[in-house]
Amino acid sequence: MRVDPPSEDGFYNYGQVLHIRAEPRDDFQFLSWTPGAGAATYLAVNGQGNASNPVELVLRSENAFYVAAFTKSSITTVTSNPTGAVVTVDGAAGYTPRAFLYEPGSVHTVSIADQQLVEGDTARLQFREWSNQGDRRQTITAGSEPLMLTASLNKQYQLLRYLTYVRVTTAAAPAFANIVTAPLNDDRFYDAGSTVQFSAQGPENVPFSNWSYDLGSSNATQQLVINQQVAVSANFLSAPFFNASAVVNQASRQPVPATPGALMTLYTPRIGPKDAVALSAGGDGRYPTSTNGVTVRFGDTPAQIVKLEENSVTLLVPEEVGANSSVVVATRSPRGNYSRTIAATPAAPGIFTMDGSGTGPAATEGPAARGQEFRVKVTGIGKNQPLSAEIGGAPATVTNVEAGDLPGSYVLTIAAPENALTGAAVDLAVLAAGVRSQFGVTIEVQ
């Protein structure tokens, strides 16, 4: 058997993700896994069949183990494409792929549901056909030669929609009719790999402000490729209002509590001129706290303004923020004044991504390699907070921190562990004071 990532001494960290592959020798064939108690639970929870090879295991139990069975006899395999579907064989249900040793000539009943929810009910599998063109419920006869029966399935993911708003009392409240989804499926399930377009337009005097969750910007029309459960939230605001959903980390593009020293964007309608104003730091390295009649205060301290646009202010949160769990944010502009209490925290890290969306490949200087250092740009790590990282769920060490090219940003040097998972899109996370950066960020590990 082969375990990835390997370990020189056979020990792994708690929570480490392992992929275990059975490699038969000579004229043997791999049959199936017999899991120990902890592994049996993990096998079922994650929809892995007893013939999955490789099989995944997360080390969260001292009694988690697999025993591989090999055979020279003919194997009957019932599987699906994609795998992880529940099939019933001779009255016993289990996840695919499933492998059996049957006497030649024995007859067995196989069935599969027309559709089934998987992955914590966030995805759905729809039956298309069996590889032998048989009925959804059918009988098969084992022979002296290997037999494989495959169910062809269509995988779909769920779309969740939300909206938030702050409006003047004379304006109509936004509704889901203000979020145009194309195509719009009645049951909100979409084929894996399909593209869905979202367009938001608020009612009069409550314009669209910004997206959050799996979308993150102020562009009213955007598209998403559905490769997992998707959640989108549209925020609508009347001038000069804002809300917690309108204060976002510039890297993650997601609403987070106010974080000292972080580069953040505050959305509020028509706060600035139509033409964006990009400001420069003075000789003391600080940015102006007022421009075009606009100021933003966090408590008693004005924020440094990096960029002013028609419907947003990009700013540096004052270092004084974070000592308390909340802070009063007050805006002043020619359009009007408004203040609101929002949450505050010592750290809420965000990783900058290549396309600026807050998801996908991280903005790094090339791929990472096992046992080597790489660099990634972040903001929102707070002031003198303990830093760490995770690569594919495995802990990694932050070895250096230096100022980035953007105000409020930092470049972290991270040492990839020797046993890190490899692949083109391995999950990457940065933790500051134990607070995790956004989900959906990946890095190539060689």
In this structure, the answer to whether residues 425 and 367 fall within a common structural domain is: yes
Give pLDDT tens digits for 318-359: 998 977 899 999 999 998 999 999 999 999 999 999 999 898
- Residue 155: the pLDDT is 96
Q: What is the CATH number of the domain that holds 435?
A: 2.60.40
Given a contact cutoff of 8 angstroms between Cβ atoms, the answer to whether 415 and 397 are in contact is yes
Domain boundary (128, 153, 178) is at 153
Q: What's the pLDDT tens digit per position in 118-174?
A: 988 999 999 999 999 999 999 999 999 999 999 999 999 999 999 999 999 999 999
Residue from 303, 387, 287 nearest 342 by CA: 303
The last residue of one of the domains, among 286, 309, 343, is 343
Rg (the chain; Cα; Å): 27
Residue 250: pLDDT over 80 = yes
The amino acid that residue 89 corresponds to is: V
Residues 62 and 106 both lie in one domain: yes
> Do 68 and 93 share a structural domain?
yes
| CB-based burial label for 82 (10 Å; 0-12, 13-18, 19+) | middle
**Residue 71 DSSP symbol:** E
- Three-state SS for 245-256 is HHEEECCCCCEC
The C-alpha atoms of residue 95 and residue 77 are separated, in whole angstroms, by 12
Least confident of 58-62, 178-182, 393-397: 58-62
35 within a domain of the structure (yes/no): yes
Residue 45 has pLDDT above 80, yes or no: no
The model's pLDDT over 184-223, given as tens digits with 9 standing for 90+, comes to 999 999 999 999 999 999 999 999 999 999 988 889 999 9
Rounded to two decimals, the pTM is: 0.83
Question: Structural domain tally of the chain?
Answer: 4
User: Does residue 397 register a pLDDT over 80?
Assistant: yes
Beta strands in 394-440 (DSSP E): 394-403, 409-415, 423-432, 435-436
Paired strand residues for 94? 87
Q: Looking at the structure, do residues 202 and 85 belong to the same domain, yes or no?
A: no
**22 burial type by CB count under 10 A (0-12 exposed, 13-18 middle, 19+ buried):** buried
Q: What amino acid is encoded at 433 in this protein?
A: A
403-433 pLDDT, tens digit per residue, is: 999 999 999 999 998 888 889 999 999 999 9
- Which residue among 153, 173, 188 closes a domain? 153
Judge if 88 and 130 occupy the same domain.
yes
What are 80's strand-pairing partners? 151
Q: Half-sphere exposure of 388 toward its Cβ, with a 13 Å CA cutoff? A: 11
| 1-35 confidence digits (pLDDT tens) | 899 888 888 888 887 888 899 999 989 999 999 88
Write down the pLDDT at residue 36: 79
Q: What domain range includes position 311?
A: 251-343
Cis link prior to 240 (omega < 30° from 0)?
A: yes
Contacts of 194 (CB under 8 A, 6+ apart): 225, 226
**Angle CA 158–164–167, to nearest 5:** 155
